[in-house]
């Protein structure tokens, strides 16, 4: 069984109101809703989440550990370690970041991003982050991007081997590696290939969709699940075969109505396939 996750927008959010709203929306997985600095507040959120069968699927560590600016890179590595420690403290499924960028935009493209030197730098920074914390209850993973490693199943597998740490997991975001008409029209093959190669290591999944626009030169837009070309039937079928409690996290939407639309679509596909989400 899989575990559908998302986000709710409520005024004056408190742990119990948040957990009730998440439960009512049908979400049983969440991004971390606290920073961990207020331990009483953290405990209240964890208690409310447990009461409503909600797991903390991911703790974000969004930063640039491979920045060409050494000060920024060092700060980012320390921040990732801090967030990884939080994830370990609360038993979150994963602490996730992108690899970063060698350019001035922390999550943007750069000519040096897809080079052997940058690959090796990513290996070194991930090892440094994991070794600083040595987590026992969580994993550290990299969200895939189209213009920095990992940007494919093969580059993720190569990183997994090179980093060589049992605490390094795999975060699967198929939309982020749809980067051409070939991959756009064959997301079924992309999904099957990725899960065949990395399935045992997948700890978390991002649920989005992608739409190829009829404009030159090439425009691929992220859209609400159900409005694009991602083969959710294949994604859910292949994830379900792993027979693990994997969070499938809807993200990047801005209203409760959008999250409801996305969840209803994903659930409708699951219903047709007779795949159950955890209640």
Chain segment 123-168, per-residue pLDDT in tens: 999 999 999 999 999 999 999 999 999 999 999 999 999 999 999 9
Q: Is residue 137 within 8 Å of 127, Cβ to Cβ?
A: no
Kindly report the average pLDDT of the chain as a whole number. Answer: 97
Are 220 and 179 within 8 A, CB to CB? yes
Question: What pLDDT, on the 0 to 100 scale, is given for residue 1?
Answer: 84
pLDDT score of 134: 98
Work out the pLDDT band at 77, boundaries 50, 70, 90. Answer: very high
pLDDT digits (tens, 9 = 90+) for 188-205: 999 999 999 999 999 999
CB 62 within 8 A of CB 109: no
Q: Residue 16 above 90 pLDDT? A: yes
Percent of the chain past pLDDT 70, that is, above it, reads: 100
71-81 mean pLDDT? 98
For domain 3-273, give the CATH number: 3.20.20.150
Euclidean distance between CA atoms 139 and 137, whole angstroms: 7
Q: Is the pLDDT of residue 83 over 90?
A: yes
147 alpha carbon, distance to own chain's centre: 17
What ranges do the domains of the chain cover?
A: 3-273
Q: How many CA within 13 A on the CB side of residue 200?
A: 4
């Amino acid at each position: 069984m899989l575990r559908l996750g998302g986000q709710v927008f409520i005024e004056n959010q408190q742990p119990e109101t948040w957990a009730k709203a998440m439960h009512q929306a049908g979400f049983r997985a969440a991004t971390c809703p606290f920073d961990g600095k207020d331990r009483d507040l953290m405990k209240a959120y964890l208690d409310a989440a447990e009461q409503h069968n909600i797991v903390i699927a991911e703790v974000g560590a969004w930063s640039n550990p491979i920045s060409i600016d050494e000060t920024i890179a060092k700060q980012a590595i320390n921040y990732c370690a801090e967030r990884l420690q939080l994830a370990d403290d609360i038993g979150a499924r994963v602490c996730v970041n992108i690899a970063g960028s060698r350019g001035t935009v922390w999550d943007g493209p750069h000519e040096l991003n897809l080079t052997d030197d940058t690959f090796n730098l990513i290996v070194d920074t991930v090892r440094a982050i994991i070794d600083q914390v040595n987590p026992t209850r969580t994993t550290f993973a990299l969200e895939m991007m189209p213009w920095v490693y990992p940007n494919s199943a093969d580059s993720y597998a190569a990183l997994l081997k090179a980093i060589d740490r049992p605490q390094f997991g795999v975060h699967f975001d198929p939309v982020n590696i749809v980067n051409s008409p070939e991959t756009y029209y064959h997301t079924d093959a992309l999904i099957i290939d990725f899960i065949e190669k990395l399935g045992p290591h997948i700890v978390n999944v991002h649920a989005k969709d992608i739409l190829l626009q009829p404009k030159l030169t090439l425009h691929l837009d992220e859209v609400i699940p159900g409005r694009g070309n991602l083969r959710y039937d294949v994604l859910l079928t292949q994830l379900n075969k792993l027979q693990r409690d994997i969070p499938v996290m809807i993200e990047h939407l801005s209203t409760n109505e959008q999250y409801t639309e996305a969840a209803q679509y994903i659930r409708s596909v699951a219903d047709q396939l007779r795949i159950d989400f955890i209640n």
